[in-house]
Amino acid sequence: MAQQMADGVYLIDTKPMGVERIIASYLVVGSGATALIDPGFSCSVDTNIEAIKELGIEPDAIDYIVQTHCHIDHAGGVGQLAQLAGRAKVTAHQRGAFYLKNSMKIGGGGHMVFGSEMMAELGEPIDVAGDRIKTIGDGDVIDLGDKNLRVFYTPGHSGDHVSLLEESTGMLFPGDTACLQYPDLGHVLIPAGSPPIYQTDHILSELTTLAGCDVKCVLTPHFGSGEGAPDEFLKANIDTVRSDRDRIDAMFKRGMEFPQVVEQLRSEIIEQSGRSPEEIPKFISDVWLRIMLKTGLMGLVADLLQYARDLRPFSHTAGSQEVAK
């Protein structure tokens, strides 16, 4: 079932492997076109379609499948969804277009993060045909009629990452530029690091830019709307990203090993959630949280070692400044 977040804006809980409230996609319905943002894993395609149909919208009425970036938890199902939504254009940053056409790259990252056993349940991605892809970049606008999605190139999390602002409603879709904040973990903010190209300084700059926009609500993929006023939520994201980098750097300098840091962070998050361990679904506390922390920590270590490359030159790669209906 889709949850209305604003006029014409809906949250869809993609429920990968039947697990609720860990990954959201978003449907934006304008007077002239409809866009689905980040459909999630391939195992979630049917969930997306069912929710969309409940709103009275058929798959063929989807005009755009918009990717904030091409990590498997956001783009694993895009190829399958594109087959069902036969006239939709798949929109992604120029760097992401390569991954969409070569889905084994997306799948390979998925196997690295989640392992082959879990990937058998999450599902493998399939290629998107090149003629179905529309590239977008910083400053572009996806025109939906009375609504539009303004594109911000935000490569701190990954080189193909964009954030989106629906200007008429003020709904901000920051993708993984924003921290993870799961309801079952008390919305504790967890920076969304990712290997090998993750740059904290870029994330801080990008969050500052987004905080300067006219935002009424922040809609995160992991998961749902940010708590409190949007300016306060984005400031809390900035503070958390900065403090976590310094705190984790200090842990390593004290001689803590990688697994010890993961478990220390996990314990702190559970404590900060205000929930007893028995109240938190075991999959989320024991499996999903550990995977997210391990992945994020690998990205942060690369950043601390200055391994990540500077991708800023790609900020100007875009198509036209308005993506036509």
User: Looking at the domain assignment, is residue 324 inside a domain?
Assistant: no
pLDDT tens figures, 203-213: 999 999 999 99
Mean pLDDT over 209-232 rounds to 97
Confidence band (pLDDT; 50, 70, 90) for 157? Answer: very high
Shared-domain flag, residues 167 and 257: no
Please give, one letter per residue, the 3-state secondary structure of 167-232.
CCCCEEECHHHCCECCHHHCCCCECCCCCCCCCHHHHHHHHHHHHCCCCCEEEECCCEECCCCHHH
User: Looking at the domain assignment, is residue 110 inside a domain?
Assistant: yes
If residue 166 lies in a helix (H) or strand (E), which one and from where to where?
Answer: strand 162-166
Strands lying side by side in the sheet with 133-136: 2-6, 9-13, 24-29, 34-37, 64-66, 89-93, 133-136
User: Looking at the domain assignment, is residue 189 inside a domain?
Assistant: no
Q: Which two tokens stand for residue 65?
A: 């499948």
Shared-domain flag, residues 264 and 133: no
Q: What is the pLDDT of residue 310?
A: 59
Residue at 66: amino acid letter: V
User: Looking at the domain assignment, is residue 190 inside a domain?
Assistant: no
Say if residue 170's pLDDT is above 50: yes
Shared-domain flag, residues 215 and 243: no
Say if residue 316's pLDDT is above 50: no
Q: What is the pLDDT of residue 323?
A: 59
* Average pLDDT value for the chain: 94
Mean pLDDT over 244-272 rounds to 97
Say if residue 318's pLDDT is above 90: no
Shared-domain flag, residues 241 and 158: no
Listed residue (221, 283, 292) closest to 17, CA to CA = 283
CA atoms within 13 A on the CB side of 7: 9
Shared-domain flag, residues 157 and 294: no
Shared-domain flag, residues 125 and 109: yes
Listed residue (78, 71, 79, 116) closest to 95, CA to CA = 71
Listed residue (59, 18, 195, 39) closest to 125, CA to CA = 39
> Vertex 128, ends 322 and 179: CA angle to 5°?
65
Global pTM reads 0.94
Confidence band (pLDDT; 50, 70, 90) for 309? Answer: low
Say if residue 314's pLDDT is above 50: no
Under DSSP, the state recorded for 287 is I
User: Looking at the domain assignment, is residue 138 inside a domain?
Assistant: yes
Q: What is the pLDDT of residue 306?
A: 82
Q: Among 112-116, 257-261, 312-316, whose mean pLDDT is lowest?
A: 312-316
**Helix then strand then coil, % of the chain, to nearest 5:** 45, 20, 35
Say if residue 146's pLDDT is above 90: yes
Task: For residue 53, give its domain range.
Answer: 2-179+201-228
Q: What is the pLDDT of residue 317?
A: 45
Dihedral sign from CA coordinates of 211, 217, 223, 227: positive
User: Looking at the domain assignment, is residue 290 inside a domain?
Assistant: yes
Shared-domain flag, residues 209 and 286: no
User: Looking at the domain assignment, is residue 184 inside a domain?
Assistant: no
Give the residue carrying structure tokens 């998925």. 110
Give the count of domains, the chain: 2
Shared-domain flag, residues 81 and 220: yes
Mean pLDDT over 135-143 rounds to 97
Mark out the alpha helices in the chain (DSSP H runs).
45-54, 72-75, 78-84, 94-101, 103-122, 200-211, 230-253, 258-272, 282, 289-304
| Percent of residues, the chain, with pLDDT higher than 90 | 92
CA atoms within 13 A on the CB side of 66: 34
Q: Among 183-187, 213-217, 300-304, whose mean pLDDT is lowest?
A: 300-304
Mean pLDDT over 79-96 rounds to 97
Say if residue 312's pLDDT is above 80: no
User: Looking at the domain assignment, is residue 149 inside a domain?
Assistant: yes
Say if residue 176's pLDDT is above 70: yes
Say if residue 325's pLDDT is above 90: no
Shared-domain flag, residues 270 and 216: no
Give the span between the Cα atoms of 116 and 212, in whole angstroms.
Answer: 41
At 202, give phi and psi (nearest 5°). -65, -45
> Vertex 206, ends 66 and 132: CA angle to 5°?
15
CA atoms within 13 A on the CB side of 309: 4
58 exposure class (CB count in 10 Å sphere: 0-12, 13-18, 19+): exposed
Helix (H, G, I), strand (E, B) or coil at 256: coil
Say if residue 320's pLDDT is above 60: no
Helix (H, G, I), strand (E, B) or coil at 91: strand
| Beta carbons of 143 and 152 less than 8 angstroms apart | no
Shared-domain flag, residues 279 and 149: no
Confidence band (pLDDT; 50, 70, 90) for 46? Answer: very high
Q: What is the pLDDT of residue 134?
A: 98
Q: What is the pLDDT of residue 196?
A: 85
Shared-domain flag, residues 91 and 240: no
Give the residue carrying structure tokens 């749902």. 224
Mean pLDDT over 93-100 rounds to 96
Give Rg (Cα) of the chain. 18
| Percent of residues, the chain, with pLDDT higher than 70 | 94
Write the CATH number for 133. 3.60.15.10
Q: What is the pLDDT of residue 315?
A: 45
Give the span between the Cα atoms of 71 and 158, in whole angstroms.
Answer: 9
Mean pLDDT over 213-240 rounds to 98
